C-alpha cells in the first residue's frame, strides 16, 4: 500500500516498523506517552531504574539495668544513631513510622549467682492499640552448680504486618526470678532491632 498524506494531516499506508530507524526520537514522543502497561515486566533493568531499596531500620538499647520478677513492658530505651528511620517509643511501647512488614529482634543479656532459674523473653503486639498478645518468645533455664556468676543471652524475633501505624504496636517483657539484666546505651547487650522488609 502506498504511503499517503491526507488533507487532514493524517498518514495512511504505514505498517508497523515502516519508519526508518532514528526517525522517532525522545522529543517526538508526547510527555507521559509511555505508560507502565506498555513496558514488559523484564524490560527495566536495575541499571536503568532509580528505585531505591525500601529497607528501613532502627536500633534501640535498654539503658538502665534491671532484675528480679516480671517486667512488662521493658522500659528505659535509647535509640542509637545507627538507623535510617525513627520509631516512637513511650513507656516501653513502640510505634512504627510506616506500614509494611517489619522484622523485630530483641536480645537480652544478663547474669545471676544463685541456683536454677527459668527465663522468658516475650515480644508482644497489638493490632488495636489495646490488647497485647505474645507472638514470639524465647526460653532458657539457668542452672548454676559452681556458685559463681552465670551469664546468659536470650533472643526472640518476629515479623509483624503493620497495617495501621496508629493501632499496630510492639512491647517487650521478661519473666524471670533472679536474673540481673545488663543495659548500656553505648553497646548492644540488651537491645532491639527493627527492620522494614517491604510493603504490606
| 27 within a domain of the structure (yes/no) | no
pLDDT at 132: 98
Q: Give Cβ neighbours of residue 10 (< 8 Å, ≥ 6 apart).
A: none
pLDDT at 115: 66
Interval 158-171: pLDDT, tens: 999 999 999 999 99
| 41 within a domain of the structure (yes/no) | no
Q: How far apart are CA 150 and CA 163, in angstroms?
A: 41
Q: Is the pLDDT of residue 79 over 70?
A: yes
| 121 within a domain of the structure (yes/no) | yes
pLDDT at 49: 62
Q: Is the pLDDT of residue 190 over 90?
A: yes
| 91 within a domain of the structure (yes/no) | yes
Banded pLDDT at 184 (limits 50, 70, 90): very high
22: left (phi over 0), alpha (psi -120 to 50) or beta: left
| 49 within a domain of the structure (yes/no) | no
Q: Is the pLDDT of residue 81 over 80?
A: yes
Q: Side-chain half-sphere of 86: how many Cα atoms within 13 Å?
A: 4
Q: How far apart are CA 198 and CA 180, in angstroms?
A: 36
Task: State the residue range of the domain holding 182.
Answer: 56-198
| 109 within a domain of the structure (yes/no) | yes
Of the two residues 58 and 146, the one the predictor is more confident about is: 58
Rounded to an integer, the average pLDDT of 3-32 is 75
Q: How far apart are CA 57 and CA 104, in angstroms?
A: 10
Residue 67, C-alpha cell as written in the block: 532484675
pLDDT at 144: 65
Q: Is the pLDDT of residue 74 over 70?
A: yes
Mean pLDDT in the chain?
Answer: 87
Residue 71, C-alpha cell as written in the block: 517486667
Sheet of 117-126, strand order: 88-90, 93-95, 169-175, 117-126, 133-142
Banded pLDDT at 1 (limits 50, 70, 90): low
Rounded to an integer, the average pLDDT of 86-110 is 97
| 21 within a domain of the structure (yes/no) | no
Report the number of distinct structural domains present in the chain. 1
| 42 within a domain of the structure (yes/no) | no
Rounded to an integer, the average pLDDT of 102-126 is 90
Q: What CATH number should be reported for the domain holding residue 154?
A: 2.60.120.40
- At 133 the three-state DSSP class reads strand
Q: Give Cβ neighbours of residue 167 (< 8 Å, ≥ 6 apart).
A: 126, 127, 128, 129
Please provide residue 38's backbone torsions phi and psi, each rounded to the nearest 5 degrees. -100, 0
Whole-structure pTM value: 0.74
Amino acid at each position: 500500500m502506498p504511503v499517503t498524506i491526507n488533507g487532514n494531516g493524517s498518514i495512511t499506508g504505514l505498517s508497523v516498523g515502516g519508519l526508518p530507524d532514528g526517525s522517532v526520537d525522545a522529543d517526538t514522543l508526547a510527555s507521559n506517552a509511555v505508560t507502565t502497561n506498555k513496558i514488559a515486566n523484564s524490560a527495566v533493568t536495575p541499571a536503568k531504574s532509580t528505585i531505591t531499596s525500601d529497607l528501613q531500620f532502627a536500633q534501640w538499647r535498654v539503658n538502665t539495668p534491671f532484675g528480679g520478677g516480671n517486667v512488662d513492658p521493658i522500659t528505659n530505651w535509647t535509640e542509637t544513631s545507627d538507623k535510617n528511620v525513627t520509631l516512637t517509643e513511650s513507656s516501653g511501647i513502640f510505634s512504627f513510622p510506616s506500614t509494611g512488614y517489619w522484622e523485630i529482634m530483641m536480645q537480652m543479656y544478663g547474669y545471676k549467682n544463685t541456683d536454677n532459674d527459668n527465663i522468658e523473653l516475650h515480644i508482644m503486639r497489638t493490632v488495636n492499640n489495646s490488647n497485647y498478645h505474645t507472638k514470639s518468645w524465647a526460653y532458657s533455664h539457668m542452672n548454676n552448680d559452681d556458685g559463681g556468676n552465670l551469664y546468659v543471652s536470650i533472643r526472640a524475633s518476629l515479623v509483624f504486618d503493620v497495617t495501621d501505624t496508629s493501632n499496630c504496636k510492639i512491647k517487650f517483657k521478661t519473666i524471670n526470678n533472679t536474673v540481673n539484666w545488663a543495659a548500656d546505651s553505648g553497646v548492644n547487650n540488651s537491645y532491639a532491632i527493627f527492620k522494614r522488609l517491604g510493603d504490606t
